[in-house]
Amino acid sequence: MARDGKVVRPFAFFRAGAQSDSRANRPILAFEDVYKYFRKDQPTLRGVNLVIERGEFCFVTGPSGAGKSTLLQLVYRKHTVDAGRILFAGRDVARLTSGSIPFLRRNLGIVFQDFKVVKHWTVFENVAVALEILDMPPRLVRARVAEALERVGLAGRGDDRTESLSGGEQQRVAIARAIVTEPALILADEPTGNLDPHLAIDILTLFEEIHATGTTVLFATHDHSLIGQRDHRIIALDDGRVLEARTGLRSWPGAADTRPADVRPSVADARPHEGSGLRVVAGSSRSGSSRTG
Amino acid sequence: MELKTLIGRAKRGLREELRLYLVAITSLSVAFLCVAGALLALTNLSALAERWGQSARMTVYLRDGAQAADVAQLRVVLESLPEVREVEELSSEDARALFLQHAEVSADLAALPPEVFPPSLELSLASGIAPARVDAMAARVAQLRAVEDVETYRGWFDRLDSLLSAGRGLAGVLALLVGLCVLAVIGNTIRLAVARRRDEIEVLKLCGATDAFVRGPFVVEGTFQGFAAAVLAVLVLLVGFMTLRSELDASLAALTGIRAAFLQPWMLIALVLGGALIGAAGSALSLRRYLTV
Ligand SMILES: Nc1ncnc2c1ncn2[C@@H]1O[C@H](COP(=O)(O)OP(=O)(O)OP(=O)(O)O)[C@@H](O)[C@H]1O
Ligand SMILES: [Mg+2]
Lowest mean pLDDT segment, chosen from A156-160, B35-39, B82-86: B82-86
Q: What is the DSSP string of A230-273?
A: S--EEEEEETTEEEEESSSSTT-SS-TTTS-GGGHHHHHHHS--
Q: In what order do the strands lie in the sheet with A185-189?
A: A108-112, A185-189, A216-220, A57-61, A233-238, A241-245
For A108, phi then psi, to 5°, come to: -120, 150
Instruction: Tell me the C-alpha distance between B159 and B153, whole Å.
Output: 10
pLDDT of residue B81: 84
Residues A129, B207: C-beta atoms closer than 8 Å: yes
Percent helix, strand, coil in chain B, to 5, is 75, 10, 15
| pTM of the entire predicted model | 0.74
A68 pocket-lining for ligand 1 (C-beta < 6 Å):
yes
Ligand 1 neighbourhood includes A232 CB (under 6 angstroms):
no
- pLDDT score of B106: 58
Quote the CA–CA distance of A156 and B232 in Å, as a whole number.
42
Burial of A281 by CB count in 10 Å (0-12 exposed, 13-18 middle, 19+ buried)? middle
Nearest chain A residue to B3 by CA distance is: A135
The CATH architecture to which B57-126 belongs is: 2-Layer Sandwich (3.30)
Sheet harboring A29-39: ordered strands across? A42-52, A29-39, A83-88, A91-92
Confidence grade of residue B282 (pLDDT, cut at 50, 70, 90): very high
pLDDT value for A273: 38
Could you write out the DSSP letters of every residue in A116-177?
---TTSBHHHHHHHHHHTTT--HHHHHHHHHHHHHHTT-TT-TTSBGGGS-HHHHHHHHHHH
Number of H helices, E strands in chain B: 10, 4
DSSP label at A190?
Answer: S
Q: Do A102 and B5 touch (CB under 8 A)?
A: no
Spell out the domain ranges in chain B: 3-52+158-290, 57-126
- Paired strand residues for A35: A46, A83
Of A209, A229, A248, A208, the closest CA to residue A219 belongs to A208
Report pLDDT for A2: 37
What number of CA atoms fall less than 13 Å from residue B288's CA on the CB side? Answer: 6
Q: What is the number of alpha carbons within 13 Å of residue A163 lying toward its C-beta?
A: 4
Distance A194 CA to ligand 1 centre (A): 18
For A10, counting Cβ atoms within 10 Å of its Cβ (0-12 exposed, 13-18 middle, 19+ buried), the class is: exposed
- What local confidence, expressed as pLDDT, does residue B117 receive? 78
Ligand 1 pocket residue status of A66, Cβ below 6 Å: yes
Strand order in the sheet with B57-62: B84-90, B120-125, B57-62, B147-151
Question: In the prediction, which pLDDT does B283 show?
Answer: 92
The Cα B246–Cα B110 span in angstroms is 33
Averaged over B109-132, what is the pLDDT? 76
Three-class SS of residue A38? strand
Ligand 1 closest atom vs CA A36: 12
Answer whether A116 sits within 8 Å of B202, measured CB to CB: yes
DSSP secondary structure string for all residues of A145-159: HHHHHHHTT-TT-TT
**A102 to B210: CB separation less than 8 angstroms, yes or no:** yes
Closest ligand 1 atom to residue A68 Cα is: 21
What would the mean pLDDT of B39-65 be, rounded to a whole number? 79
Does the C-beta of A233 come closer than 6 Å to ligand 1? Answer: no
DSSP label at B126?
P
Contact criterion met (CB below 8 Å) for A76 and B206 = yes
The answer to whether B79 touches B87, Cβ cutoff 8 Å, is yes
Q: How far is the CA of A85 from the centre of ligand 1 (A)?
A: 20
How many CA atoms does the CB half-sphere of B268 hold within 13 Å? Answer: 11
Percent over 90 (pLDDT), chain B: 28
Give the model's confidence band at B163: pLDDT under 50 very low, under 70 low, under 90 confident, else very high: confident
Which atom from ligand 1 is nearest to the alpha carbon of A79? 1
Which of B222, B240, B220 has its CA nearest to residue B232? B240
- Dist CA B206 CA B193 (whole Å): 20
Q: Residues A77, A82, A86, A91: what is their CA dihedral angle, to the nearest 10 degrees?
A: 80
Report the alpha-carbon distance of residue A70 to residue A277 in Å, rounded: 19
Q: Which numbered ligand comes closest to the C-alpha of A46?
A: 1
| Residue A238 dihedral angles phi and psi, to the nearest 5° | -145, 125
Atom of ligand 1 nearest to the CA of A113: 27
Rounded CA separation B270/B284 (Å): 20
The C-alpha of A121 sits at a distance from chain B's nearest C-alpha, in angstroms, of 9
Residues of chain A with pLDDT under 50: 1-20, 250-293
For the ranges A140-144, B199-203, B218-222, B243-247, the lowest mean pLDDT is seen at B243-247
Q: What is the mean pLDDT of chain B?
A: 84
Q: What is the pLDDT of residue B108?
A: 66
Question: Is the pLDDT reported for residue B263 higher than 60?
Answer: yes
From A36, A40, A44, A238, the mutation candidate for ligand 1 (largest count of ligand atoms within 8 A of CB) is: A44
Is A69 close to ligand 1, i.e. is its CB under 6 Å away?
Answer: yes
pLDDT value of residue B55: 61
Compare all CA atoms of chain A with the CA of B214 and give the residue at the minimum distance: A133
Q: Please report the ipTM that was assigned to this predicted complex.
A: 0.77
Say if ligand 1 is within 6 A of residue A49 CB.
Answer: no
Mutation target vs B (from A131, A133, A140; most B CBs, 10 A cutoff): A133
Chain B interface, best mutation among A69, A75, A118, by max B CB count within 10 A:
A118
What per-residue confidence (pLDDT) applies to B102?
64
Using a CB cutoff of 5 Å, list residues around ligand 2, an ion.
A 69
Contact A132 B205 (CB under 8 A): no
Protein residue with its CA nearest to atom 6 in ligand 1: A38
Q: How many CB pairs under 8 A join A and B?
A: 56
**A29 CA distance to ligand 2 middle (Å):** 20
Sign of the dihedral defined by the CA atoms of residues A126, A202, A52, A292, in that order:
negative
How remote is the CA of residue A123 from the centroid of ligand 2, in Å?
Answer: 26
d(CA A84, CA A94): 9
As a whole number, mean pLDDT of residues B227-236 equals: 95
